Amino acid sequence: MTRILDFNGRDAHRTVTVGAIAALKGSGRQYVQVTAGTEEEAAAAEAAGIDMVVCLAGAVPDVRRGSSRLFVTAAIDFGGEVTLDDLLATAFRSLSAGADAVITARRLDAVRLLAAEGVPVMGHLGFVPKRSNQFGGVRMVGRTADEATTLWRQFQELEDAGAFAVECELIPAQVLAQITPRTSMATISLGSGRDADVMFLFQSDIVGESPRVPRHARTYGDVASLQRRIVEERVRALTAFRADVLNGSFPGDSEVGAIAPEQLAAFIESLGCGDQPAEAD
C-alpha cells in the first residue's frame, strides 16, 4: 500500500499508483484490473485482492465508497461529452471525486490536452466498441500485416500524445506480444493475450452475471442464478404476505400490541355513551 495525496490534496493510500503501473515494464510482474460500477462491486474487488478497477466517470463516487484503496480509472467519454472542454471538465470532476486516472478512446488531441493538464490518461486501441460499425462488426483488430502495422503506428502516436497506459482490446496475442516491450505505455489486455502489463476482464463476466460471455472471458461464478433466486424469493414472500392479509391471518396476536382490560374499559368509558363507532353501509 502506498501513501499518496489525492487530487484534492488529501492523504490517501492506494494499492498501486501511476508510477507503479509505469514501472511494470520489463519487470515480469502483472497487475489485475476489473470493472466496478457500484459500491458493492468495488468492495468485492478490494476484498479479492484486485489491483485496479475501471468505471464510468459518473460512478466514481459510488466506487470510492466501496474502496478507498483501489486504483480507479474513470472512463470519461460515455456521458455525452462532445468538445475537448467537455472531456477536460469530466476528467477534473472524476479526479476530484477520487479517480486516479482517466481513459478515453477519443482523438489524439484529447489525450494531448489531458496529459498537458497533468491528468494521468489511458488510451484505447484495437477494437473500440463505439466504432464497431467502422470495423464491420465485433472482431479482432490486427490480423493482417497491414492492419497490425497501422495498429503499431497508433500505439506510437498515442505514446507521443502523452498516454501512460493503453487498453488493448481484441488484438491478436502474438501482435500484442511484439508491441508490449516496444512501447513505454503500460499495456492492458482485454482479450489480447497474456503478454501485457495488466490483465483485464469485466466483473460481470467473471462472476457469471452476463447473459452472454465473450470468447475472451472466463466465468468463475454464478451470480445470475443467485439474482434469479432473490427475485423469485422476493415475489414468493410478497405473495404469501398478501394472501395472509386477505385470509385474515395477518396480523396475529403476537404481532400486535395490547392494552390491559381495565385500561381499555376506562378508555371506552371516556369516549362517552353517545360516541358509538359508525356502522358500515
Instruction: Report the catalytic residues.
Output: 169
Q: 80-109: string of b/e by CB count within 10 Å (b at 16+)?
A: ebeeeeebbebbbbbbebbbbbbbbbbeee
Helix (H) or strand (E) holding 166: strand 165-169
Alpha helices in the chain (DSSP H): 18-22, 39-47, 60-66, 84-96, 108-116, 132-135, 145-161, 173-179, 203-206, 223-247, 261-271
202 closest CA partner among 14, 50, 19, 95: 50
The x, y and z cell numbers of residue 234, run together, are: 422476493
Distance of CA 156 to the CA centre of its chain: 28
